[in-house]
C-alpha cells in the first residue's frame, strides 16, 4: 500500500513536523508595539461579540418568552457558524492574506448589532447569532498570522500576552458597556451603541491598514510543494483542538450562566452578578499579563497550562458546593479568571510550537475552531441542567470538563518536541 501518493504524503508530514514557523527576526519597538496594539484592539472587539447575546438573555426570556435552552441555542448557532468559518478562514488567510478578512469581520459585527437593535423575535435573534458568529470566525487565524509575521521573535511571547489580555478586556467591557446602556435606556439602544463602537474600531483599522499587511503564502499545487492538508494528519493538531474544545466548554458556562447561577444559589441581584462577571474578565486580563512573563521563562508551556487550569477547576468545584456563600462565591469566580488567564500565553506558545512552517493560518484556524465547538456545545448541554434547576451541578460539571482539558494539554506536551529537541 506504499504507493507514490502515500509516500509523498508521509514526506509532507515529515517536512511539516521538522519545520516550525519562524517569526520576524527583528523590528523596532515602536513598530512592534503598533502592530500588537492594533491586533489587541481587534481581539477585544472579537471577545466583546461573545457577550452580545448572553448578557441580554434575561431580557430575551422576558420579552420573547424563551427558556434557558432556547437562549443557549442562540450561542450554539453563533459558535457553530464561527467554528466552521474559522477552519475555512485559516485557508483563506494563507491564500489571500490576513488584512482583508479582518476588515470584513469587523464590518459583520456592525451589521449584526444593527439587526439586533430591531429584532422582532427569536428568528431574528438567530440571524444575529449567525452574522456575529461569521464575523468572529476569522480572528484567531488572522491575529496570530499578523503577530507571527509582523512582530519580532524576541517580543512574540509578550505579544501573545497582550493579545490574550485585550481579549479579556473585551469580555470585561461588554457587561459594563451593554449593561449600563440597557439599564439607562433599553437593550435595543445598547445594540445601536455597540454598532457605533464597532464602526469606530473599523475606521481605526482602516486608517492603520498598512501595519496589518502580511505576505501571501506560496500557493499549493506546484512541484515539490507540500500538501496543504498534510497538517490534518498530525496527531498534535487534534490534541490541541480537543484542548480548546474542553477548556472553552467551562468558560462558556461562566459567561452564559454565572449571572443566573449566582441569583438562584445566593440571591445575588443582576447588577452585582454582572459585576462579578466583569471581575472574572478583569482578573483574567491580569492573569494574562502575569502569564506572559511565565511563558517566556518556562520552556515547557504545557506544564504551566496544566497547573493553571487545575487551580481553576478546584475553585469552580468550591463554588459549586455553595459553602462559600454569596460573597465568597463571587470572589472565587473572579479568582478562577485569574488562574485561567495565567495559562493563556503559555497555551498560545504551546500551539505555536506545534505549528508547522507555512501553515500558521490553517493550523490556528483548525485548532481554535475547537474553541467555537466548545462554545457551541456548552450552552446547549449545560442549559438543560439549568432548566432543571441543577445550578451547583452545572458548575461542578464545568470543573470536571476543565480537568479533562488538563489531560489534553499534557498530551500536547508529549507530542511536541522540547526546546532542545526542536533546536
Supply the pTM of this predicted model.
0.69
Distance in angstroms (rounded) separating the CA atoms of residues 287 and 342:
4
Helix ranges restricted to H, 137-210: 139-150, 156-184, 187-207
> Is residue 4 included in any domain, yes or no?
no
16 located within any domain: no
Least confident of 2-16, 42-56, 403-417: 2-16
Residue showing cell 471577545: 47
User: Does some domain include residue 281?
Assistant: yes
Residue 24 three-state SS:
strand
Q: What's the confidence (pLDDT) of residue 3?
A: 42
Q: What is the CATH number of the domain that holds 131?
A: 1.20.1250.20
Tens of pLDDT, residues 12-68: 444 444 344 444 545 677 777 888 888 889 999 998 998 888 888 888 888 888 887
pLDDT tens digits along 248-301: 888 888 877 888 899 889 888 877 888 888 888 788 878 877 877 666 566 667
Q: Is residue 105 part of a domain?
A: yes
Measured on CA atoms in the order 303, 307, 310, 316, is the torsion positive or negative? negative
How far apart, in Å, are the Cα atoms of 194 and each of 52, 141, 181? 9, 24, 10
Average pLDDT, the chain: 79
Asked, for residue 102, whether it belongs to a domain, the answer is: yes
Cα 222 from Cα 212, distance rounded (Å) = 28
**Is residue 7 one of the residues assigned to a domain?**
no
Distance CA 186, CA 417 (A): 53
233-245 per-position pLDDT tens digit: 777 778 888 888 8
C-alpha cell at 353: 510550537
- Name the residue range of residue 176's domain: 28-216+231-422
pLDDT at 90 over 80: no
Residue 6 confidence (pLDDT): 41
Q: Is residue 146 part of a domain?
A: yes
Residue 188 lies in a domain: yes
pLDDT bin (cut points 50, 70, 90) of residue 414 is confident
Determine contact, residues 105/142, Cβ cutoff 8 Å: yes
- Mean pLDDT over residues 131-149, rounded? 84
Place of cell 500558521: 360
Tally of domains in the chain: 1
Q: Which residues contact 94 (CB under 8 A, 6 or more apart)?
A: 145, 216, 217, 228, 358, 359, 360, 361, 362
Backbone angles phi, psi at 154, to 5 degrees: -70, -20
Helix crossing, 68-96 with 99-117: angle to 10°?
160
Phi, psi (degrees; rounded to nearest 5) at 72: -60, -35
Amino acid at each position: 500500500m506504499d504507493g507514490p501518493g502515500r509516500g509523498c504524503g508521509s514526506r509532507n508530514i515529515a517536512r511539516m513536523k521538522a519545520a516550525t514557523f519562524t517569526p520576524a527576526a527583528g523590528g523596532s519597538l515602536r513598530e512592534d508595539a503598533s502592530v500588537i496594539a492594533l491586533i489587541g484592539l481587534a481581539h477585544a472587539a472579537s471577545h466583546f461579540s461573545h457577550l452580545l447575546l448572553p448578557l441580554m438573555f434575561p431580557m430575551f426570556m422576558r420579552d420573547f418568552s424563551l427558556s434557558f435552552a432556547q437562549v443557549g441555542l442562540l450561542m450554539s448557532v453563533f459558535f457553530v457558524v464561527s467554528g466552521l468559518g474559522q477552519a475555512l478562514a485559516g485557508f483563506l488567510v494563507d491564500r489571500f492574506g490576513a488584512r482583508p478578512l479582518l476588515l470584513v469581520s469587523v464590518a459583520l459585527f456592525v451589521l449584526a448589532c444593527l439587526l439586533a437593535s430591531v429584532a422582532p423575535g427569536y428568528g431574528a435573534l438567530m440571524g444575529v447569532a449567525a452574522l456575529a458568529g461569521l464575523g468572529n470566525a476569522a480572528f484567531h487565524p488572522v491575529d496570530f498570522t499578523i503577530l507571527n509575521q509582523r512582530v519580532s521573535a524576541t517580543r512574540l511571547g509578550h505579544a501573545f500576552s497582550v493579545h490574550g489580555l485585550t481579549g479579556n478586556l473585551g469580555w470585561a467591557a461588554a457587561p459594563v458597556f451593554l449593561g449600563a446602556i440597557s439599564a439607562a435606556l433599553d437593550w435595543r439602544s445598547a445594540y445601536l451603541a455597540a454598532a457605533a463602537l464597532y464602526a469606530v474600531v473599523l475606521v481605526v483599522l482602516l486608517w492603520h491598514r498598512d501595519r496589518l499587511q502580511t505576505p501571501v503564502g506560496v500557493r499549493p499545487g506546484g512541484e515539490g510543494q507540500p500538501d496543504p492538508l498534510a497538517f490534518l494528519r498530525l496527531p498534535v493538531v487534534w490534541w490541541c483542538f480537543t484542548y480548546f474544545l474542553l477548556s472553552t466548554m467551562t468558560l462558556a458556562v461562566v459567561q452564559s450562566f454565572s449571572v443566573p447561577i449566582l441569583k438562584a444559589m445566593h440571591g445575588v441581584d443582576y447588577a452585582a452578578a454582572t459585576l462579578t462577571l466583569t471581575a472574572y474578565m478583569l482578573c483574567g486580563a491580569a492573569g494574562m499579563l502575569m502569564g506572559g512573563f511565565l511563558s517566556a521563562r518556562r520552556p515547557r508551556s504545557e506544564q504551566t497550562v496544566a497547573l493553571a487550569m487545575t487551580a481553576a477547576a478546584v475553585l469552580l468545584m468550591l463554588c459549586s458546593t455553595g459553602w462559600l456563600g454569596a460573597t465568597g462565591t463571587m470572589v472565587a469566580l473572579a479568582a478562577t479568571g485569574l488562574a485561567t488567564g495565567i495559562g493563556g500565553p503559555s497555551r498560545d506558545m504551546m500551539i505555536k510550537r506545534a505549528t508547522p512552517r507555512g501553515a500558521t493560518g490553517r493550523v490556528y484556524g483548525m485548532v481554535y475552531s475547537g474553541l467555537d465547538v466548545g462554545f457551541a456545545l456548552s450552552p446547549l448541554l449545560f442549559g438543560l441542567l439549568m432548566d432543571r434547576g441543577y445550578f451547583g451541578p452545572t458548575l461542578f460539571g464545568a470543573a470536571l470538563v476543565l480537568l479533562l482539558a488538563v489531560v489534553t494539554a499534557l498530551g500536547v506536551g508529549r507530542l511536541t518536541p522540547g526546546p532542545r529537541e526542536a533546536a
